[in-house]
């Protein structure tokens, strides 16, 4: 196998942190290479340098033997390096072909482009209609748009940042077939993921980063997931376990709830019913964009629904706003950390006041007690091991995983009767994710009812008593989580949304 | 090569240091400008910044002017800053200021020639109420029909100016004024006047109200739940809704408070320094206050200082015009320079400047 990209001694420093420290590794032609590491380990910085978004302070790269120092992403693309980002940059109101054209330097005529999109998408088993509006596409289909945008450039190296986090198991299989086909044609793939089983199934080599340094290389095919995780974390993993306590009386009842969000690209909730008992963890799976945000908003009180749709301890709470619900013990932690669960430019103390004033009695006669609020913020930081200089730091200065710990901790420490969380461990490293799950399970053990909305099925299987799935705004009947197979879960999630594998 | 690197959070040191640095830089660049025009730069800068306060010859007249000019600017800017913090853009303060003056003056003149202690307080209430109601028009249109408050509040300024003209020529015209436009001189009527409270300072009730509003806004923004909600809404509307902020009520509060304070400023002006309702009563305080609010970084203390600084350059600028014969255009360029430099220096608060060696390509 000849060497495609060689990275030697790359170092990148930000004020106060060395994101990459003397990182070296190489990718062979046609190799699928994994980049593994906790949050803040420096994976993003590394791929940004490869893709020309950042410049290294020291070290150099070689592409096919020649020197490679992209000044910007355009230069990287010209050299044959393409990247699929974790967060899509697509315009919802435009169609697929228009979105693809916007990412090209010299887009061909629309008709030719549509034809080549069709051809490439069928060649690689990713069927996609170039005329469809992106706003109507599922997250998996949107990712296809991004992938096809890259494939049209005929890349030599494709970088994928956590590509499976938004996919159903079936969609993951389709994606893997595509990636294997690309590999067989000689395209190299740099694959970033937290999901160790996937890496074992797909990748030929892996480089493991911790705190900006390379801590090891391994062949994922012969290394156990546990061994890789321990290299990544640098300590033995703590796996939470469900105590399996008896669940108590009914806390929350949602009865045939219908809800149309104000956002035209939101998902309508259709005839959603669920029951939640004290001490129960109800896991809700489903591909992103199938009504998760909307379900959280009707439970948190941000959106009001028809009379009698949401009942708490036998009382109708459908008309109550977020603070009235907090008062009686219904708390929520939304998925979007910056801008929804927390205000980016405000300090952690102020962000503690965002949801905790009522239950923690942080205000008197509507005057905030900042001393008490700061103490509460400190308590959250300490209990949940949030890595930050202190409660005065702005929320946006925290890494995603640390802010997530803060957001979850803020709600858990208020001792809710019901806690609704969406994607509680999204982008959080393995050890912190285990801590968050344990905190959620402890809360349930103390008698709270939990609704955990997540796209990480392993996580849901680990902590849920009951499992249900959201599919285009409808919720399946909850089933006991114990004994569910991956196929059954896939079916509950609505299969692969008519996205069959094209015949290769 | 100079590059700017975003700071993880705004620098506290630079937030305070940039305005001072900006004033110094403006003095230097302004001095160069005046020198290029053949004037003594040191004398020009001293005339603008020093003489209005400390020159033995002029200070007796110009020192009180400082508070007279700064008072309404601060009072209006404080009100505007609440809305601006929450992302509610009321730029019709000039209209609210005019309407406040008209309603206040109307209530007083309706009672003329009655002489009672409660007339002036009643006029103050009427002035605040007038400004409040005028601001309720954009507020209700926004909450009911989702109209743009920028356009509505701005357009209402021109409506208010027409009402002002009609008041000065019609229903408020002084019956003993020999047919000249303009109302009775309120500052000459003891029950309705807003006199200088301490001789030689220029401080009238409007200045007292301005200082009180600075303190009240400081407490509201930093200690009170409502102030927290205002800041939160400006930072992130979605997080604010999650925190239980009733966004429509907040629009009504922010526009209403700004309108009431602008109305108050109008009332204190018409009963004091201006003295009467006249066609040219609207002197642009409502628009200048927008600059004051941003210059003060929407911070009550900052607004206090910005109001005083702007008032000083107005007075000093006038002084330089007739003392040194500087053209008024040059003074306006100087004032514009001050604003531009202040806003441009903002980059230092959020970014750090780094010198990078040009790398070999």
Q: Is the pLDDT of residue A438 over 50?
A: yes
CB of A339 within 8 Å of a chain B CB? The answer is: yes
Q: Is the pLDDT of residue A93 over 70?
A: yes
Write down the pLDDT at residue A194: 67
Write down the pLDDT at residue A238: 47
Whether A217 and A25 have beta carbons less than 8 Å apart is answered as: yes
pTM over 0.95: no
Residue A122 vs residue A247, higher pLDDT: A122
CB of B357 within 8 Å of a chain A CB? The answer is: no
Q: Is the pLDDT of residue A444 over 70?
A: yes
Using CB atoms, which residue from A71, A334, A397 is nearest to B242? A334
Rg (CA), chain A: 23
The verdict on a CB contact (< 8 Å) between B236 and A343 is yes
Write down the pLDDT at residue A502: 37
The verdict on a CB contact (< 8 Å) between B242 and A300 is yes
Q: Is the pLDDT of residue A495 over 50?
A: no
Write down the pLDDT at residue B78: 97
Write down the pLDDT at residue A163: 84
Whether B183 and B172 have beta carbons less than 8 Å apart is answered as: yes
CB of A350 within 8 Å of a chain B CB? The answer is: yes
CB of B225 within 8 Å of a chain A CB? The answer is: yes
Using CB atoms, which residue from B224, B231, B361 is nearest to A366? B224
Q: Which residues contact B107 (CB under 8 A, 6 or more apart)?
A: B122, B123, B126
Whether A147 and A84 have beta carbons less than 8 Å apart is answered as: yes
Q: Is the pLDDT of residue A430 over 80?
A: no
Write down the pLDDT at residue B251: 96
Domain that holds residue B125: 72-297
Write down the pLDDT at residue B270: 95
Return the SS3 of A138: coil
Give the rounded distance of the alpha carbon of A451 from its chain centre: 17
Write down the pLDDT at residue B99: 97
Pairing verdict, β A281-285 and A466-471: parallel
CB of A393 within 8 Å of a chain B CB? The answer is: yes
How many structural domains are present in chain B? 1
pLDDT in tens, chain B (361 residues): 788 887 877 788 888 888 888 889 999 999 999 999 988 999 999 998 888 888 888 888 888 899 999 999 999 999 999 999 999 999 999 999 999 999 999 999 999 888 899 999 999 999 999 999 999 999 999 999 999 999 999 999 999 999 999 999 999 999 988 888 999 999 999 889 988 888 888 889 999 999 999 999 999 999 999 999 999 999 999 999 999 999 999 999 999 999 999 999 999 999 999 999 999 998 889 999 998 998 888 999 999 999 999 999 889 998 888 888 888 898 889 888 988 898 888 888 888 888 776 554 4
Set out the domains of chain A in order of their start, with CATH numbers: 3-233 (3.40.50.300), 250-492 (3.40.50.300)
In a domain, B335, yes or no: no
Residue A272 vs residue B350, higher pLDDT: A272
CB of B5 within 8 Å of a chain A CB? The answer is: yes
Mean pLDDT (chain A) is 86
Residue B170 vs residue A248, higher pLDDT: B170
Q: What is the number of CB-based contacts under 8 A between chain A and chain B?
A: 79
Write down the pLDDT at residue A235: 60
In a domain, B26, yes or no: no
Q: What residues does A367 pair with on adjacent strands?
A: A364, B224
Whether A182 and A124 have beta carbons less than 8 Å apart is answered as: yes
Long-range contacts of A470-473 (CB under 8 A, 24+ apart): A470/A284, A470/A285, A470/A286, A470/A290, A470/A291, A470/A292, A470/A295, A471/A286, A471/A290, A472/A267, A472/A270, A472/A290, A472/A291, A473/A267, A473/A268, A473/A269, A473/A270, A473/A272, A473/A290, A473/A291, A473/A294
In a domain, B88, yes or no: yes
Q: Is the pLDDT of residue A241 over 80?
A: no
* Maximum alpha-carbon separation in chain B: 85
- Residues A288 and A390: their CA atoms lie apart, in Å, by 33
pLDDT band at A246 (very low <50, low <70, confident <90, very high): low
Percent residues over pLDDT 90 in chain A:
40
Write down the pLDDT at residue A291: 87
Chain B partners within 8 Å of A357 (Cβ): 225
Q: What residues does A276 pair with on adjacent strands?
A: A252
Chain B partners within 8 Å of A350 (Cβ): 228, 231-232
In a domain, B245, yes or no: yes
pLDDT band at A170 (very low <50, low <70, confident <90, very high): confident
Residue count of chain A: 504
Write down the pLDDT at residue A453: 94
Write down the pLDDT at residue B55: 84
ipTM over 0.90: no
In a domain, B323, yes or no: no
CA separation, residue A44 to residues A191, A398, A491, B314, B322 (Å):
12, 15, 34, 53, 63
Q: Using alpha carbons only, what angle is made at residue A488 by residues A241 and A457, rounded to the nearest 5 degrees?
A: 40
pLDDT band at A195 (very low <50, low <70, confident <90, very high): confident
The verdict on a CB contact (< 8 Å) between B225 and A323 is no
Q: What residues does B131 pair with on adjacent strands?
A: none
Please give the average per-residue pLDDT across A194-201, as a whole number: 79
Return the SS3 of A207: strand
- Residues B26 and B34: their CA atoms lie apart, in Å, by 12
Write down the pLDDT at residue B358: 57
- Residues B218 and A304: their CA atoms lie apart, in Å, by 34
Torsions phi, psi for B117 (to 5 deg): -65, -25
Q: What residues does B211 pair with on adjacent strands?
A: none
- Residues B95 and B130: their CA atoms lie apart, in Å, by 10
Write down the pLDDT at residue A503: 35
In a domain, B316, yes or no: no
Give the sign of the dihedral formed by CA A437, CA A443, CA A447, CA A449.
negative
- Residues A283 and A242: their CA atoms lie apart, in Å, by 13
Residue A167 vs residue B227, higher pLDDT: B227
The verdict on a CB contact (< 8 Å) between A394 and B9 is yes
Best to test chain A binding among B242, B297, B354 (most A CBs inside 10 Å): B242
Q: Is the pLDDT of residue A39 over 70?
A: no
Best to test chain B binding among A55, A343, A410 (most B CBs inside 10 Å): A343
Chain B partners within 8 Å of A353 (Cβ): 228
- Residues B155 and B92: their CA atoms lie apart, in Å, by 8
Whether A367 and B225 have beta carbons less than 8 Å apart is answered as: yes
The verdict on a CB contact (< 8 Å) between A302 and B241 is yes
Chain A partners within 8 Å of B216 (Cβ): none
- Residues B234 and B214: their CA atoms lie apart, in Å, by 20
In a domain, B21, yes or no: no
A421 closest CA partner among A386, A455, A466: A455
- Residues B281 and A378: their CA atoms lie apart, in Å, by 54
Rg (CA), chain B: 22
Helices and strands of chain A, counted as H and E runs: 16, 23
Write down the pLDDT at residue A349: 96
Which residue of chain A comes nearest to B357, CA vs CA?
A57
Whether B235 and A343 have beta carbons less than 8 Å apart is answered as: yes
- Residues A226 and A42: their CA atoms lie apart, in Å, by 21
Q: Which residues contact A440 (CB under 8 A, 6 or more apart)?
A: A281, A408, A412, A419, A421, A424, A450, A452, A463
The verdict on a CB contact (< 8 Å) between A368 and B228 is yes
CB of A363 within 8 Å of a chain B CB? The answer is: yes
Using CB atoms, which residue from A342, A363, A367 is nearest to B239? A342
The verdict on a CB contact (< 8 Å) between B242 and A340 is yes
Whether A239 and A297 have beta carbons less than 8 Å apart is answered as: no
Q: Which residues contact A335 (CB under 8 A, 6 or more apart)?
A: A292, A293, A296, A341, A422, A423, A426, A453
- Residues B157 and B164: their CA atoms lie apart, in Å, by 10
The verdict on a CB contact (< 8 Å) between A321 and B231 is no
Write down the pLDDT at residue B91: 94
In a domain, B256, yes or no: yes
Chain A partners within 8 Å of B226 (Cβ): 366
Please give the average per-residue pLDDT across A460-480, as a whole number: 87
- What letter would DSSP give residue A11? E
Chain B partners within 8 Å of A345 (Cβ): 9-10, 235
State the smallest CA–CA distance between residue A227 and chain B in angstroms.
Answer: 35
State the smallest CA–CA distance between residue A199 and chain B in angstroms.
Answer: 33
Write down the pLDDT at residue A501: 39
DSSP secondary structure of A316-355: E-TT--HHHHHHHTEEEE-S-TBTTTB-TTSBHHHHHHHH
């Amino acid at each position: 196998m000849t060497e495609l990209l060689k990275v030697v001694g790359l170092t990148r420093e930000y004020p106060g942190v060395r994101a990459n420290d003397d990182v070296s590794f190489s990718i062979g032609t046609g190799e699928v290479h994994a980049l593994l590491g906790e949050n803040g380990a420096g994976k993003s910085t590394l791929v940004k340098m490869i893709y020309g978004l950042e410049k290294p302070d020291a070290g150099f790269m070689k592409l096919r033997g020649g020197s490679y120092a992209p000044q910007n992403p355009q230069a990287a693309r010209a050299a044959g390096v393409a990247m699929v980002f974790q967060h899509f940059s697509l315009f919802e109101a435009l169609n697929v072909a228009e979105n693809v054209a916007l990412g090209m330097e010299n887009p061909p005529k629309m008709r030719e482009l549509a034809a080549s999109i069709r051809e490439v998408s069928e060649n690689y088993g990713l069927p996609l209609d170039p005329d469809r509006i992106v706003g109507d596409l599922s997250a998996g289909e949107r990712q296809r748009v991004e992938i096809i945008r890259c494939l049209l450039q005929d890349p030599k190296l494709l970088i994928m940042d956590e590509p499976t986090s938004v996919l159903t198991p079936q969609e993951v299989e389709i994606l893997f077939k595509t990636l294997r086909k690309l590999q067989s044609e000689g395209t190299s793939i740099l694959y970033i993921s937290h999901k160790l089983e996937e890496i074992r199934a797909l990748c030929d080599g892996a480089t493991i980063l911790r705190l900006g340094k390379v801590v090891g290389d391994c062949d994922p095919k012969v290394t156990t997931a546990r061994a890789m995780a321990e290299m990544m974390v640098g300590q033995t993993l703590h796996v939470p376990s469900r105590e399996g306590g008896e669940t108590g009386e009914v806390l929350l009842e949602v009865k045939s709830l219908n809800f149309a969000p104000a956002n035209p690209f939101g998902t309508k909730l259709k005839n959603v019913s669920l029951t939640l008992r004290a001490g129960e963890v109800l896991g809700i799976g489903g591909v992103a964009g199938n009504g998760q945000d909307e379900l959280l908003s009707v439970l948190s009180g941000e959106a009001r629904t028809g009379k009698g749709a949401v009942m708490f301890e036998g009382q109708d709470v459908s008309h109550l706003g977020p603070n009235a619900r907090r008062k009686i013990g219904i708390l929520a932690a939304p998925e979007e950390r910056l801008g929804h669960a927390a205000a980016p430019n405000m300090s952690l103390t102020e962000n503690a006041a965002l949801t905790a004033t009522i239950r923690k009695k942080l205000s008197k006669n509507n005057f905030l007690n900042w001393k008490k609020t700061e103490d509460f913020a400190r308590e959250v930081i300490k209990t949940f091991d949030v890595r930050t200089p202190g409660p005065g730091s702005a929320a946006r200065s925290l890494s995603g995983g640390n802010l997530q710990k803060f957001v979850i901790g803020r709600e858990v420490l208020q001792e809710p009767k019901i806690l609704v969380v969406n994607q509680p461990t999204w982008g959080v490293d393995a050890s912190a994710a285990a801590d968050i799950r344990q905190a959620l399970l402890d809360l349930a053990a103390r008698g709270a009812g939990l609704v955990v909305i997540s796209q990480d099925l392993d996580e849901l299987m680990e902590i849920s008593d009951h499992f249900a799935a959201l599919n285009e705004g409808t919720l399946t009947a909850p089933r006991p989580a114990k004994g569910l197979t991956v196929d059954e879960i896939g079916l509950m999630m609505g299969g692969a949304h008519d996205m069959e594998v094209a015949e290769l | 090569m100079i590059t700017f690197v975003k700071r993880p959070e705004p620098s506290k040191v630079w937030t305070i240091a940039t305005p001072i640095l900006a004033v110094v830089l403006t003095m230097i660049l302004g001095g160069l400008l005046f020198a290029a025009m053949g004037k003594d730069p040191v004398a020009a800068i001293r005339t603008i910044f020093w003489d209005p306060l400390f020159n033995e010859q002029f200070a007796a007249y110009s020192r009180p002017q400082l508070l007279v000019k700064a008072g309404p600017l601060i009072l209006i800017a404080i009100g505007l800053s609440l809305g601006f913090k929450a992302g509610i853009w009321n730029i019709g303060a000039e209209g609210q200021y005019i309407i406040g003056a008209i309603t206040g003056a109307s209530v007083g003149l309706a009672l003329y020639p009655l002489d009672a202690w409660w007339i002036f307080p009643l006029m103050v209430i009427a002035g605040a109420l007038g400004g409040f109601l005028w601001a309720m028009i954009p507020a209700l249109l926004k909450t009911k029909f989702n109209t743009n408050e920028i356009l509505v509040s701005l357009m209402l300024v021109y409506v208010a100016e027409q009402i002002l003209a009609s008041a000065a020529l019609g229903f408020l015209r002084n019956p003993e004024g020999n047919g000249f436009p303009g109302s009775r001189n309120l500052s000459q009527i003891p029950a309705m006047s807003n006199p200088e409270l301490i001789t030689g300072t220029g401080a009238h009730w409007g200045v007292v109200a301005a200082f009180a509003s600075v303190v009240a806004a400081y407490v509201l923004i930093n200690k009170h739940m409502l102030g927290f909600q205002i800041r939160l809404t400006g930072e992130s509307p979605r997080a604010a809704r999650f925190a239980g902020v009733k966004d429509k009520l907040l629009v009504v509060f922010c526009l209403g408070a700004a309108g009431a304070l602008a109305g108050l400023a109008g009332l204190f002006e018409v009963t004091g320094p201006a003295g009467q309702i006249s066609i040219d009563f609207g002197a642009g305080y409502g628009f200048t206050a927008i600059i004051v609010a941003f210059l003060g970084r929407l911070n009550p203390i900052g607004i206090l200082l910005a109001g005083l600084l702007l008032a000083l350059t107005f007075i000093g600028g006038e002084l330089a015009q007739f003392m040194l014969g500087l053209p008024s255009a040059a003074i306006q360029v100087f004032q514009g320079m001050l604003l531009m430099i202040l806003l441009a220096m903002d980059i230092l608060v959020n970014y750090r400047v780094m010198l990078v060696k040009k790398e070999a390509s």
